[in-house]
Amino acid sequence: MTSPFGRDEQINWPSEKPVWIIGAVVVALLAMFLAMWLQYECWTPVQRFYLPTYAWTNWTGNRKTSTRLLVIRRPDGSDVWPREEDIQEQETRTPDGAVVPLALSDPARQAGKTLVLRRRENLPTDWLREALKHDVYGDASPMDLFHFVVDVPFYGSLGVLVSLLLIAIPKDRQRARVRRYGQRVRGPELVSV
C-alpha cells in the first residue's frame, strides 16, 4: 500500500536476511585475505620480484621464455642471482629507464657489486625454472608456495567461521522468531477473562 506521498509503507523490519551469518562469512573471508597477505609478506623481496617469472616457467609449455633477469654483477664481471644479504627493498632506476623495486644493500655496494637488469633474452624454460627453484625459492615448487600462502590462512579462517557460526546461528534463529511471532514484552502479563 502506498501513502499519498508515493512511498511504500510496507517495511520489513527486522530484515529477513540472516545478517549474523552473513557477517560471520564476511569476517572469515576478511581474516583469510589478511592472513594470505601476511603470508605473502613473509617472502623475501627477491622471491616476490621473481614470482611472476617463476609461475610462468612452471605453467607454460614453451621451450623458451623471454624475460629480463635481475642479477648482481661481481667486481670480476660474473653475474649471480641476487641473495638476500645483497638486496634491500627500494626502487632502482636502470640506465634504460626501467624501475626495479629492489636495490643493492650498503655492504654489497661497498664490495663493488652492482645490480643489473639484463636485456630481454630467450632462455630455456627448463633451465630458468630449475635455477629459480634452487637459487631463489629454496627448492620449493609453485604448489609448495601456493600451499604456504593459501592453506594455512584457509584453514585458519575456516576455524574462525565455525566459531562465529556458533554465535551467529542462534542469533539469526532468534531474529526469525521475532519476525514470525513478534517481540515478546518482558514483565507482567495482564490476562483478561
- Give the largest Cα separation in the chain, rounded: 106
pLDDT for res 23: 94
C-alpha 1/C-alpha 170 separation (Å) is 33
Give me the average pLDDT of each 10-residue run along the chain (193 residues).
58 74 95 92 89 87 86 90 88 84 90 89 91 90 86 92 95 84 68 71
* pTM, rounded to two decimals: 0.67
pLDDT confidence of residue 12? 60
pLDDT computed for residue 133 by the predictor: 92
- What secondary structure, in 3-state letters, does 127-145 show? HHHHHHHHHHCCCCCHHHH
How confident is the model at residue 168, as a pLDDT? 95
